[in-house]
Amino acid sequence: MSAQTSPAEKGLNPGLTCQESYACSGTDEAIFECDECCSLQCLRCEEELHRQERLRNHERIRLKPGHVPYCDLCKGLNGHSPGVRQRAIVRCQTCKINLCLECQKRTHSGGNKRRHPVTVYNISNLQESLEAEAMDEESKRQKMTEKVVSFLLVDENEEIQVTNEEDFIRKLDCKPDQHLKVVSIFGNTGDGKSHTLNHTFFYGREVFKTSPTQESCTVGVWAAYDPVHKVAVIDTEGLLGATVNLSQRTRLLLKVLAISDLVIYRTHADRLHNDLFKFLGDASEAYLKHFTKELKATTARCGLDVPLSTLGPAVIIFHETVHTQLLGSDHHSEVPEKLIQDRFRKLGRFPEAFSSIHYKGTRTYNPPTDFSGLRRALEQLLENNTTRSPRHPGVIFKALKALSDRFSGEIPDDQMAHSSFFPDEYFTCSSLCLSCGVGCKNSMNHGKEGVPHEAQSRCRYSHQYDNRVYTCKACYERGEEVSVVPKTSASTDSPWMGLAKYAWSGYVIECPNCGVVYRSRQYWFGNQDPVDTVVRTEIVHVWPGTDGFLKDNNNAAQRLLDGMNFMAQSVSELSLGPTKAVTSWLTDQIAPAYWRPNSQILSCNKCATSFKDNDTKHHCRACGEGFCDSCSSKTRPVPERGWGPAPVRVCDNCYEARNVQLDVTEAQGDDEGGTLIARKVGEAVQNTLGAVVTAIDIPLGLVKDAARPAYWVPDHEILHCHNCRKEFSIKLSKHHCRACGQGFCDECSHDRRAVPSRGWDHPVRVCFNCNKKPGDL
Report residue 768: phi and psi, to 5°.
-60, -40
| Residue 764, pLDDT score | 84
Contact 649, 619 (CB under 8 A): yes
| Residue 224, pLDDT score | 93
Say which range, 122-126, 373-377, 694-698, has the weakest mean pLDDT.
694-698
- 129 pLDDT tier (thresholds 50, 70, 90): low
Q: Which domains does the chain have, with CATH numbers?
A: 32-133 (no CATH), 150-298+322-349+358-382+389-407 (3.40.50), 468-558 (no CATH), 577-658+679-684 (3.30.40.10), 712-772 (3.30.40.10)
Q: Provide the whole-model pTM.
A: 0.50
CA atoms of 739 and 713, how far apart (whole Å) = 12
The DSSP result for 400-438, as a single string, is: HHHHHHHS-S---GGG---SSSS-GGGTB---B-TTT-P
| Residue 415, pLDDT score | 46
CA atoms of 394 and 402, how far apart (whole Å) = 12
Average pLDDT over residues 366-377: 89
Cα atoms in the 13 Å half-sphere on the side-chain side of 55 = 15
| Residue 196, pLDDT score | 92
**Which residues on neighbouring strands pair with residue 752, listed in sequence order?**
765
- 104 pLDDT tier (thresholds 50, 70, 90): confident
Q: Kindly report the three-state secondary structure assignment for every residue of 447-496.
A: HHHCCCCCCCCCCCCCCCCCCEEEEEHHHHHCCCCCEEEEECCCCCCCHH
| Residue 404, pLDDT score | 83
**pLDDT score of 366 more than 80:** yes
Say which range, 44-48, 146-150, 391-395, 575-579, has the weakest mean pLDDT.
575-579
Average pLDDT over residues 353-381: 89
| Residue 14, pLDDT score | 53
Instruction: Out of 127-141, 490-504, 549-563, give the one with best mean pLDDT.
Output: 127-141
User: Which pLDDT tens digit goes with each residue over 406-457?
Assistant: 777 665 554 444 555 455 556 677 788 888 888 887 776 767 667 788 888 8
| Residue 738, pLDDT score | 84
User: Which pLDDT tens digit goes with each residue over 583-622?
Assistant: 565 566 566 777 888 878 888 988 888 888 777 888 888 8
| Residue 358, pLDDT score | 92
User: Which pLDDT tens digit goes with each residue over 144-175?
Assistant: 888 899 999 998 888 899 999 999 999 998 98
| Residue 556, pLDDT score | 43
Say which range, 73-87, 99-113, 557-571, has the weakest mean pLDDT.
557-571
CA atoms of 372 and 49, how far apart (whole Å) = 43
Q: How many CB atoms lie within 10 A of CB 124?
A: 8
| Residue 328, pLDDT score | 80
**Which residues on neighbouring strands pair with residue 765, listed in sequence order?**
752
